[in-house]
Amino acid sequence: MPIDWDKARTLAYEAGRAAAGPAEHVALAGADGRTLAEPLVALADLPAFPTSSIDGWAVRGEAPWRPIGRVLAGSTPPPLTEDGTCVEIATGAMVPSGAAALVRVEESARDAEGRVSGTPRPQPEWRLAGDEARRGEELLPAGTPVDPAVLGMAATCGYDTIPVRPQPRAALLVFGDELLTSGPPGEGRVRDSLSPLVPAWLRRYGATVDSGAVLGPVRDTLEAHLEAIRHGLAVADVVCTTGGTMHGPVDHLHPALSTLDAEYVVNTVAVRPGFPMLLARVAGPDGRPRFLAGLPGNPQSAVIALVSLVAPLLAGLHGRDLPALPRVELAAPVPGRGGFTHLALAALDADGRRATPVGHAGSSMLRGLARAHGFVVVRPDRQAAAGELVSFLPLPLSPGERP
Ligand SMILES: Nc1nc2c(c(=O)[nH]1)N[C@H]1C(S)=C(S)[C@@H](COP(=O)(O)OP(=O)(O)OC[C@H]3O[C@@H](n4cnc5c(N)ncnc54)[C@H](O)[C@@H]3O)O[C@H]1N2
Ligand code: MOO
C-alpha cells in the first residue's frame, strides 16, 4: 500500500537522522555547507577586551588633556593613571584602564602646547568586554547549517576547527537500455536526462557526488543491477537509482533489493506523479547503514522522489531539521488526485508569496520543471481553489536562478 506523502517524508528524514555520522573536526575554510554537530560556544568574551569604536583620544579627568602616548589595535596599553592626561587611540584598540571617555579626533582640538580638548559624546564610544557574548555562552545550537556567517562567527570567538557532521556521499545509477547518452532522441530511444540533473541537485542538497559514483545506463539485467548497486554501496552513503521501480519485464530493482536483504523504509508513496518511489536501508561494508533511493524512470517523477525522499534523508544524515514547508497563495485552481497527494509544478511571483501552476507538467516532461520554483502540495481528497493557501515544496535552486 502506498503510504501518505507527509509520512513518507518524515520516515525518510528519521531514517537519515538515525544514521547521521559522528562529529568530525573540520578546519573553518572547509566547513561551509556542513552542519554543527555540537553547539557553538563562545571560547572568549566578545569582544575579549574593552575596544575603541573610534579614532581619537582616550581621556582621564577634565579637559584639556596632555597626550602621553598612543594605543594602536593589537596590544595591551598601560593604564591611564593621571587626571588631565590622554592617549591617542585607534579604532579597534584596547581602551586603557583608567580612561573615563573617548573623544573623536574630528571633534577635538589641540592648543599651542599640544593639549587636547573636546566634548565626549553622551553615549560611550567603546564596546565593553562581553557586550556581544560571554565566554561559555551558547551562540548557535547543534544542527545549525554552517554558512559563511557562521564561519565568521566561529573564527571571531576563537575556533580553528568546528565539530560538524560528515558530508553524505551520494551515487547515481541510471537504469534503462533505451537510453541515449548523446545526441537527439528517436527510433524508440530517449536521451538520458537524469545523469546530468540528479547529481547536480544532490550536490545542492549538500551531498558529494564523485565522478566515479555516476554509472549508466546500466544494462537491464538483474546481474548488471546487482553489480552496479554493490559498487554504489561501496562508494556512497546514499545510492540513487532511476527507472525500474515498477514490475515490468525488465524492472529489476525490487528483485535486486531482495537479493541484497534490503529493508524498505518507504515502498511506494500516495503521491502523483511519482508514486513508485522507494527508499531502502542496506547494511554497508563497514556495518553502518547505507540507503538506496529508487527514483521512478519518468523524469519529473524522479525529481519528485528526489525532493520528497532524498532531500529529507540528506537533511537527517546532515543532522539538520526537516525543512518546514512554506505556505503560498495559489493564483489558479489545482485539481486533486483522489486519495493521493498532488504535487503540481508552480512558479512563484517576485516576492515568493503567490504560486502559478506551470504548463507542460506531465511526469515524462521536464519543460515545466525548468520554469518552476517547486511544487504546490494538494492534499489527498482535496482540490485547491485560486486564492487558497497551500504548502510549497521548493526545488533546490541557488540565488539568482529563476529570477
Ligand atoms: N502497469 C503499470 N505500468 C506503469 C504504472 C502503473 O501504475 N502500472 N505506472 C507508471 C508510472 S506512474 C511510472 S512513474 C513508471 C515508473 O516506471 P519505472 O520506474 O519502472 O521506470 P521505467 O519503466 O524504467 O521508465 C519509465 C519511463 O521513463 C523513461 N526514463 C527512464 N529513465 C530515464 C532517464 N534516465 N532519462 C529520461 N527518461 C527516462 C523511460 O524511457 C520510460 O519512458 O511506470 C509507469 N508504468
Ligand atoms: O507516478 Mo508516475 O511517477 O506518475 O509518472
ipTM of the complex: 0.97
What is the average per-residue pLDDT within 77-89? 97
Average pLDDT over residues 384-398: 97
Element (H, E) at 314: helix 311-318
178 Cβ closer than 6 Å to some ligand 1 atom: yes
Kindly give the number of the ligand 1 atom that is closest to the alpha carbon of 294.
Answer: 19
Give the ligand 1 atom nearest the CA of 247: 20
Q: Three cell numbers at 196?
A: 546530468
Give the number of whichever ligand sits closest to the CA of residue 246: 1
For residue 347, how far is its CA from the centre of ligand 1 (angstroms)? 25
Start-end ranges of CATH 2.40.340.10 in the chain? Answer: 327-394
- Shortest-distance Cα residue to atom 5 of ligand 2: 363
Residue 309 CA to residue 276 CA, distance in Å, equals 12
pLDDT at 136: 97
Beta-strand ranges (E) seen in 268-322 are 269-272, 278-283, 289-295
**CATH 3.40.980.10 domain extents, the chain:** 3-21+167-318
What separation in Å is there between the alpha carbon of 210 and the centre of ligand 2? 28
Express each pLDDT in 317-376 by its tens digit: 999 999 999 999 999 999 999 999 999 999 999 999 999 999 998 999 999 999 999 999
CA of 301 to the centre of ligand 2 (A): 5
Q: Assign domain 327-394 to its CATH superfamily.
A: MoeA, C-terminal, domain IV (2.40.340.10)
pTM for this entry: 0.94
Provide CATH 3.90.105.10 ranges for the chain: 24-41+138-164
* Nearest ligand to residue 245 Cα: 1
247, 269, 272, 364, best to mutate for ligand 2 pocket (most atoms within 8 Å of CB): 272
Amino acid of residue 262: A
Cell matching residue 217: 545506463
Phi then psi dihedrals of residue 114, to 5 deg: 90, 5
Give every CB contact of residue 249 below 8 A, 6+ residues apart in sequence.
Answer: none
Domain spanning 51-127: CATH 3.40.50.1010:
no
Pocket (CB within 6 angstroms of ligand 2): 272-276, 296, 298, 301, 363
The residue whose CA has the least distance to atom 31 of ligand 1 is 297
Q: Under CATH, domain 3-21+167-318 is a member of which superfamily?
A: MoaB/Mog-like domain (3.40.980.10)
Q: Where along the chain do the CATH 2.170.190.11 domains lie?
A: 51-127
> 323 C-alpha to center of ligand 2: Å?
24
Q: Check residue 250 and give its pLDDT.
A: 83
Residue 248 clears pLDDT 90, i.e. is over it: no
For ligand 2, the distance from its centroid to the CA atom of residue 306, given in whole angstroms, is 13
Q: Is 190 in the pocket of ligand 1 (CB under 6 A)?
A: yes
116: nearest Cα among 127, 101, 130:
101
If you write DSSP's letter for every residue of 73-85 in order, what string do you get? Answer: TTS-PPP--STTE
pLDDT in tens, 264-321: 999 999 999 999 999 999 988 778 899 999 999 999 999 999 999 999 999 999 999 9
What is the band of 67 on the pLDDT scale with cuts at 50, 70, 90? very high
d(CA 29, CA 386): 47
The rounded mean pLDDT for the chain is 96
Please identify, by atom number, the ligand 1 atom nearest to the C-alpha of residue 275: 12
Fold of 24-41+138-164: Molybdopterin biosynthesis moea protein, domain 2 (3.90.105)
In whole angstroms, what is the distance from residue 254 CA to residue 263 CA? 11
